[in-house]
Structure 1
Amino acid sequence: MELQEAFIVAASCLGFFSVCKALFKFVRWIWVMFLRPTKNLKKYGSWVIITGSTDGIGKALAFKLASKGLNIVLVGRNPSKLEATSKEIREKYNHEQVETKSIVVDLAKATGGEIARTIEEGIKGLDVGILINNAGINYPYARYFHEVDRELMENMLKVNMEAVTWVTKAVLPGMLEKKKGAIVNIGSAASQDPSVPLYTLYAATKSYIEVFSRCIHLEYKQYGIDIQCQVPRFVGTEMTKDLKKSVPLMMVPTERFRKASIRWIGYEHLCNPYWLHSVQGFIVHAAPDALVNAITFWICSGIRKRGQMKDSSAVKRCSD
C-alpha cells in the first residue's frame, strides 16, 4: 500500500511539473511574440545594409527601419529599381532626415571576391550597425531535382549561400572594430521541416544559412555582435505568388511580417518571428513526419502541375 501511495505521489508530482513547464512555455511565447519591447536599434549604428532590398521582405524592412530614423544602404542588381526605392524612402521619411545609399551588384553573377570588394567600398566611412541578408532565389514553381536547369541551380547556390557568406565577411570587420552590431540572415522554415520535396535545392541552401548563422553567432557574441537567423514560413512576396492558391490561409502579408521581424532583432539567434508561423511550426513538428511528408508532397505536386500547365499555355501562345 505504501508503495502504491508513493507511486501516486510521484506520478502526481511529475504531472504537475509537466503542466507547469507547458504553462511556462506558453506564457513565455505570449511575452516574446506580443509583449517584449523592441530593442533600440540605433545603438548598433546609424546605417542598415539590406540585400535584396527593392522587393518583398527586403523592401518592407527598408521602409520600416527608415521610419525609425535609420539610414539605409540598399543592395541590388537593378540600378533603376534601387534609385526608385531610394527616392521613395527619402521622400516618405524626409522629416526623419533619413539618408540612403545604393550599391549595385549582381549577387548571382559576381564572384565572391567581387561581392566583398563592392560591399566594402560601398560602406566605407559609414557607421553600419545592422546587416540584413535578405536576397534569395527560389524555384519559379515546384519541380523534381533533375528538372532544375543548370543556370537556376548555379544562381540559387550563389545567391542563397555564397552571397550571404561574402557580404557578411565584408561587413563583420567594421562591427568588430567598434565591438557592436547585429546581423540578420533571412532563412526559411524549409530548413526545419521534415522535408520539402520538389523544393530540394532551396531547402538545402536555407539549411546552410541556418547552420552558418548558428556557428558565427557563437563565434562573435563575445564581441558584442548579435547574429540571428529568422526562419519565416509563407510571406506574401513575388517569390511565393505561386503558393498562394495552395496555402492561402498560411500566407502572411509582408507588412505584418516586417513588424514582427524587427521586434526580434538582437534577441534569440534562431527565431520564427511571426506568431502564426510559430503556431504552424508547432503543428508541423508535433505531427508524425510521415504525415507531414505526405501532405507536403501532395501540395508541392499540385503546385508543379499548375506551373507546368502555365508553361505549356505560354509556349502555345508564343507558337500561335
Structure 2
Amino acid sequence: MLSTCFIHLKTQPWWIITLSLLGFLSLFKNSIFLLKWIFITFFRKPKNLKKYGTWALITGSTDGIGKAFSFQLAKKGLNLILVSRNLSKLKNVTREIEAKYPNTRIKIFEIDFSGPNISAGILEMKEAIKGLDVGVLINNVGVTYPSAMFFHEVDEEIWMNLVRVNVEGTSLITRGIIEGMVARRKGAIVNIGSGASIVTPSHPLYAVYAATKGYIDQLSRCLYVEYKHYGIDVQCQVPLYVSTKMASKVASVEKPSVFIPSAEKYVESAVGSIGYEARCTPYWGHSIQWWLASILPDAVLDAWRLSIGINRRRG
C-alpha cells in the first residue's frame, strides 16, 4: 500500500506534492500542540512547592487572586507572609486561614505600594523576615484605571500610581526577595501579568495599564533566563478575566462562568503551573480564548478592543 502511494505521488505535479507536504506538516504541528495542551492542562502533576522553601510571600493578599493564592499555598503546607496596604483586611484574612489551616504560620506586613515610601516598607519587611526560608514569591499586587479613558484623559496621578504599583512595587519586592533565593539556590517567582498586554495586540483606553503589564511580562522572561542556573523558576502567569472586584468594576463581570473563573478556580490551576513554563495561561478556558485570539488578524482584535473600550467609556 505504501509503495502504491509513492507511485501515485510520482505522477502528481510538483506543486500538489508541495501543498500536500505543507498540509501534512501543519496537521502534525497542530496535533503535537493539541496533545501537549491536553497533557499540561489535565494530566501534568504540580510541583512540590515545599522543595523551594517553607515560606511563601504573597502581595495583594487580601482580595481576589491574591487571597485565593494565600489559601491554596496554606493548603499546600507553606507558611505565609501576607502583604497588603490594609492592616484590617490582613488581620481578617489571617484569622480565616488559621481557622481552616491551624498549623500555618503567618506573618503580615502593611505596605502601600502606591505610597511614596515603598522602598522603606520593603526594606523593613526584608529585615523582619531575614532567616526565613522564603521559597515562593507571588507578585499579585496590581491596579488599573478607574474607568476606560483615552491616554490624554488620564490624570498624571492615576498613571503614576499605576507605574508605582505595577512596575516599581513588583521590581522592588522581587529585588528584595530574590537575593535570599540566590543564596539558597532555589525558589519560585510568579508575576501576575495580563492578557491585556500579551493575548491581544493592543488594549485601547487602558494603555498605561497594558504597558505596565508588558513590563511584567518582559521582566519575567529575562529573570527566567538570568536565574534558571541558580535553581530559581521565574514565571509570568497571564490570566484573562477572573471574577474579582477589579474585574467587576472595570469590565462589569458580575459572576463566574466557564470562561471567567472565580479567583479560587483560577488559582487552583495557577498553583499547579508554578515552576514550569516562563509564561503560561494556567486556566484552561483562558488558554482556549488565547488560541482563538491568535488566529484572528491584529486589525480585527484592535477594532474589537477599541469598541469595547469606547462602550465602557460611554457607560
Q: Shared fold (TM-score greater than 0.5)?
A: yes
- Please name the residue that 1:176 is paired with: 182
Aligned-pair CA distance for 1:156: 0.8
- Please name the residue that 2:27 is paired with: 19
Which residue among 289, 296, 303 is the counterpart of 1:287? Answer: 296
Q: For the residues of structure 1 that align with 2:108 and 2:313, how far apart are their CA atoms?
A: 36
CA contact (8 A) 1:182 1:225 kept: yes
- Please name the residue that 1:84 is paired with: 92
- Please name the residue that 1:199 is paired with: 206
**Structure 1: where are the runs of 5+ without partners?**
307-320
Which residue among 260, 268, 275 is the counterpart of 2:284? Answer: 275
Which residue among 108, 114, 120 is the counterpart of 1:108? Answer: 114
Which residue among 52, 55, 69 is the counterpart of 1:61? Answer: 69
Q: For the residues of structure 1 that align with 2:308 and 2:111, how far apart are their CA atoms?
A: 35
Aligned-pair CA distance for 1:40: 0.3
**Structure 2: where are the runs of 5+ without partners?**
1-8
Aligned-pair CA distance for 1:52: 0.2
CA contact (8 A) 2:243 2:256 kept: no
For 2:21, give the aligned amino acid: C
Q: For the residues of structure 1 that align with 2:14 and 2:307, how far apart are their CA atoms?
A: 50
Q: Secondary structure at the match of 2:234?
A: strand
Q: For the residues of structure 1 that align with 2:152 and 2:254, how far apart are their CA atoms?
A: 23
Which residue among 26, 46, 52 is the counterpart of 2:54? Answer: 46
Aligned-pair CA distance for 1:122: 3.1
Q: Secondary structure at the match of 1:101?
A: strand
Q: For the residues of structure 1 that align with 2:18 and 2:292, how far apart are their CA atoms?
A: 30
Matched, 1:230 2:230: no
Q: Secondary structure at the match of 1:114?
A: helix
Matched, 1:93 2:101: yes
Residue by residue over 1:27-75, the C-alpha shift from the partner in whole angstroms, topping out at 9 and shown as x without a partner, is 1001111111100001000100000000110001100111111111000
Q: For the residues of structure 2 that align with 1:161 and 1:56, how far apart are their CA atoms?
A: 20
- Please name the residue that 1:152 is paired with: 158
CA contact (8 A) 1:103 1:118 kept: no
Aligned-pair CA distance for 1:154: 1.6
Residue by residue over 1:104-150, the C-alpha shift from the partner in whole angstroms, topping out at 9 and shown as x without a partner, is 11111143531431231232121100000000001122111122222
**How has the CA–CA distance of structure 1 residues 245 and 230 changed in structure 2, closer, same or farther, with 3 Å as cutoff?**
closer
Residue by residue over 1:54-109, the C-alpha shift from the partner in whole angstroms, topping out at 9 and shown as x without a partner, is 01100011001111111110001111111111111111111xx1111001111111
- Please name the residue that 2:126 is paired with: 120
- Normalising by structure 1, what TM-score? 0.90
For 1:62, give the aligned amino acid: S
CA contact (8 A) 1:74 1:101 kept: yes
CA contact (8 A) 2:242 2:256 kept: no
Residue by residue over 1:271-315, the C-alpha shift from the partner in whole angstroms, topping out at 9 and shown as x without a partner, is 111111111111112111111111111111111122xxxxxxxxx
CA contact (8 A) 1:48 1:71 kept: yes
Aligned-pair CA distance for 1:153: 1.6
For 2:115, give the aligned amino acid: K
- Please name the residue that 1:311 is paired with: none
Q: For the residues of structure 2 that align with 1:122 and 1:103, how far apart are their CA atoms?
A: 10
- Please name the residue that 1:186 is paired with: 192
Matched, 1:217 2:228: no
Q: Secondary structure at the match of 1:74?
A: strand
- Normalising by structure 2, what TM-score? 0.92
Q: For the residues of structure 2 that align with 1:13 and 1:145, how far apart are their CA atoms?
A: 48
Aligned length: 304
Q: For the residues of structure 1 that align with 2:303 and 2:267, how far apart are their CA atoms?
A: 31
**How has the CA–CA distance of structure 1 residues 127 and 246 changed in structure 2, closer, same or farther, with 3 Å as cutoff?**
closer
CA contact (8 A) 1:246 1:303 kept: no
- Please name the residue that 2:3 is paired with: none
Q: Secondary structure at the match of 2:95?
A: helix
Matched, 1:260 2:269: yes
For 1:287, give the aligned amino acid: L
**How has the CA–CA distance of structure 1 residues 241 and 60 changed in structure 2, closer, same or farther, with 3 Å as cutoff?**
same
